Amino acid sequence: MPDGSGLKPPRALRTPLTPPLKWAGGKRWLVQRLADVLTVPIERLIEPFAGSAAAFFRLRPQSAILADKNSELINVYKCLKSNHERVQEILSLHAARHSKDYYYLVRDENPADDFCRAARTIYLNRTCWNALYRVNRRGQFNVPQGTKNNVILPSDDFFSISVALSDVSLRTCDFVETIRHASSGDLIFADPPYISRSKTGTFVKYTNPVFRWKDQERLAKALMRAHQRGAMFILTNADCGDLAQLYSECGYVQRISRQSVISGTVKGRKETSELL
């Protein structure tokens, strides 16, 4: 919380915040495990695939760039930054009306007002299947309703989120454009759509068009150029030998284990490995 002086407390004194969104493939679990690594002095945090912005809300840096090609996602953060009360007001209306029929009614809507769009995105995120963001070829959100019905959460602190976002640059753009701004003192936390072992697509369509292997190569080149300018980076992705080879000459490649949570069946939610 601000103290009224207009100055933010030192990073070490800032309490980590719960992201307002859950995101399929989100990295809340990872940034908790990497807490010691992520305490290195950084002048700015850059997340070119913002998603739930787990690293940002965990680290609470003084300066940050949060970017994504998903304009609906970035609109949520822009609206929470500029007028979190308005977003919460509309979200409360969704909570009061929530039902199966209402979910699909809202899913089919395309509101013009930015704050209505932001509240719609949060509402759908919290009540759809597995917090998945997926669009069809026309760019329309098409995830079915899930099992969760809580629209307003005990962890919601939109005021503190607004304060945390006050000095953040929010951008809707390609990751290469975002990473181009990285220089000495910056930490890039890159969590792109994961590759499949066949290199022909991705596990989840976060945006349209699909993120392909050539985009993984573009990302590797962009991160290495940033590294040459003095920036640090952390990349997460699927455990794939081709991917490990991409980064074999830059930094350290580790395998980390975690429990899969995205499978539609309990049997499918088993321990898996990822690359860091």
What is the model's pTM? 0.86
**Structure-token pair, residue 84:** 């979190």
For residue 115, the 8-state DSSP code is H
Asked if the structure places residue 5 within a domain, the reply is no
Rg value, the chain, Cα:
19
Q: Which helix (H) or strand (E) holds 67?
A: strand 64-68
Q: Is residue 240 part of a domain?
A: yes
Residue type at 112? A
The answer to the question of residue 117 being in a domain is no
State the total domains in the chain: 1
Q: Do the beta carbons of residue 133 and residue 143 sit within 8 Å?
A: yes
Residue 21 covered by a domain: yes
In a domain, residue 4? The reply is no
Contacts 24+ apart (CB under 8 A), 111-115: 114/75, 114/78, 114/79, 115/79, 115/83, 115/86, 115/87, 115/90
How many C-beta atoms lie closer than 10 Å to residue 272's C-beta?
Answer: 15
Closest-CA residue to 203 (of 257, 266, 129, 262): 262
167 part of a folded domain: yes
What domain range is 267 assigned to? 17-70+157-275
Decide if 90 is inside a domain. Answer: no
pLDDT tens, position by position, for the chain (276 residues)?
344 444 455 554 478 899 999 987 767 778 877 776 666 778 899 999 999 999 999 888 889 999 999 999 999 999 999 999 999 999 999 999 999 999 999 999 999 999 999 999 999 999 999 999 998 888 899 999 999 999 999 999 999 999 999 999 999 999 999 999 999 999 999 999 887 654 444 444 445 567 888 999 999 999 999 999 999 999 998 888 888 888 888 878 888 876 554 444 445 456 778 888
In a domain, 222, yes or no: yes
The residue among 145, 72, 137 whose CA lies nearest residue 107 is: 145
CATH code for position 215: 3.40.50.150
Cis status, amide bond into 209, omega within 30 of 0: yes
